[in-house]
Chain A
C-alpha cells in the first residue's frame, strides 16, 4: 500500500452552507497520485444536481466517490458521505455507513466522521472545517486535536458562513487558519514532503 511520506494517513473535511466552492478550491490543488485518503462530510440540504455538477469539475484530478458500506478507505479518490447517511471510518480502515438518528440536526454529520476517524488514525489525521452555519464538527475537531492530529479551519473572514468555523475555533486551539487555496497548496506540499509543519 502507498503510504504518504508525510506520516499522515487520513484527511477529513467537513462543511455546510457555502462550503462547496472552498472544497473545490482545495481539491483542485491535489494531483491524481495524492497519497493520503480523503473523506468529506457535507450538509447537503441544498440538494443533488447542482452539487454534483460543482464537485465534478474537470480541474479536479481526484474523482469524487460516494462509497458503499465497507469499502476500504484508500487514496486515489475523494470519499463523499452519501446524502442521508452518516459516514464513519472503522478501525480496520473501512467505511461504515449508517442511517441512525441525526447528529447536530445533520445526516451526514461532521462529528460522526471526525470522531470515528480520530479513533482510527490518532495523530496521523488532519481535520479541516470549512464554511457553514451550524456547530457540527466542533466536537469532532476537538477530538482530533486531543488525539494529536492536525487541525485546520478555513479563514472565517472570507468564508460565506462563519458560524461553524468560529465554533470550532472556540473549542479547539486550531493549528492553521488558511484560505482554501492555501489549504490546497499545504496539503499538496505536505504529501510531497516539502511542507514545513
Chain B
C-alpha cells in the first residue's frame, strides 16, 4: 500500500518505533491512538534534543536504562479528585437512586491512574450511605500509579482544587473530613480504603473478572485506537450487570452506530450510559 500524504515518513518512523519497542521490551503501544502517541514521541524527540524519531528509536533500542527512564512519558496519567464536578453531580442525582435498590454493589474503575477518581467515588458513596455495601475494584496497567493509589497520599498544594471540586460536585460536608494532612501531603482516610481493591489489569489483553453494577472508564479510551476501543466496549458490556451503568469521560461518546443498541444514555452531558441487555453483541464485534 502506498500512502500519499506528504509527511508519511514521520508516520512510518512512529510505526517502526512502536514495533521496535514491542519486540525489544514487550510494551505494546501499537493499538493506542496513533496521533496521541505521535505527539508524545515528538515531544520526547524535542526534549532529548534529537533530530528525528529514528534517532530516538536507536537510543531506545540500544540503551535499556534510557528506555526505562522515558517509558512513563508514553502514558498519560493526569487526573484529580472530583475531576469534572458536574459528572459527580449527575451521578448523585441520576445513578444513586438506582444503586439504593441493590442489596450489594460492585463498582469497577478501569484506568484509575493514581486513584483520585476512586477516592472521590468512595466519598460520594459514603455520603449517600452506600459505601458499606460496596466492593470497589480499581484497575490500571501502570504499576507505579497503582502504588500511589494504594497509598492514597497526595500533594497538599492541590488541596484547594480538591475542596473546590468537591463542593461543586454536590459534596455534603467538607473535603477536609476525609483526609489527614502531613506537611506537604494529605492522606485519604483509612475508612475509605476498606472496600477498595487495587488490581493490575490491562484493558488491551485481560478478560472480564467481575459483574459490576457500575463501570467507570474516564479519559482512557481517548488514547486507544478504534479496534482497541471496540474490544474494551465489548469487555465492559460483558462485565456489566443486566442494566448496569457505564460512565465515560465528558468528551467521550460511545454512541457511534455500532453501540447504539447495546447502550443508551442515562445522562447525556455526564456521559453516563446504561446497558441494554441483548443477545446480539457478539455478532456486532465481528
Q: A residues bordering B, Cβ < 8 Å?
A: 66-71, 82, 85-86, 88, 90-91, 96-101, 112, 116, 119, 122, 147
Could you tell me if B76 and A99 are in contact, using CB atoms closer than 8 angstroms?
A: yes
Given contacts A97-B222, A99-B76, A100-B76, contact A67 B251 (CB under 8 A): yes
Known: A67-B251, A98-B223, A116-B39. 6 other contacts (CB 8 A): A96-B36, A97-B251, A98-B36, A100-B76, A101-B78, A116-B35
Given contacts A98-B222, A119-B7, contact A68 B253 (CB under 8 A): yes
A116: min CB distance to chain B, Å: 7
B residues within 8 A CB of A98?
Answer: 36, 39, 76, 222-223
The answer for the CA separation of A100 and B6 in the assembled complex, in Å, is 26
How many of chain B's residues touch chain A, expressed as a range? Answer: 20 to 34
Q: Does B219 contact A (CB under 8 A)?
A: yes
The residue on A at minimum CB distance from B5 is: A91
Chain B 234-257 near chain A by CB (<8 Å), digits 1 or 0: 000000000000000111110010
A residues within 8 A CB of B223?
Answer: 98
A136: min CB distance to chain B, Å: 15
Which 7 residue pairs are nearest across A and B when measured between Cβ atoms?
A68-B253, A69-B222, A90-B35, A99-B78, A96-B35, A100-B76, A68-B251
Could you tell me if A122 and B222 are in contact, using CB atoms closer than 8 angstroms?
A: no
The residue on A at minimum CB distance from B222 is: A69
The answer for the CA separation of A66 and B219 in the assembled complex, in Å, is 16
The residue on B at minimum CB distance from A88 is: B35
The answer for the CA separation of A97 and B252 in the assembled complex, in Å, is 9
B residues within 8 A CB of A88?
Answer: 35-36, 39
Could you tell me if B219 and A100 are in contact, using CB atoms closer than 8 angstroms?
A: no
Q: Does B33 contact A (CB under 8 A)?
A: yes
A67, A69, A100: the one within 8 Å of B78 (CB) = A100
Could you tell me if A100 and B5 are in contact, using CB atoms closer than 8 angstroms?
A: no
The answer for the CA separation of A185 and B7 in the assembled complex, in Å, is 32
The answer for the CA separation of A100 and B78 in the assembled complex, in Å, is 7
User: Which residues in window 88-114 of B have CB below 8 A to A?
Assistant: none
The residue on B at minimum CB distance from A118 is: B7
The answer for the CA separation of A168 and B253 in the assembled complex, in Å, is 35
Q: Does B195 contact A (CB under 8 A)?
A: no
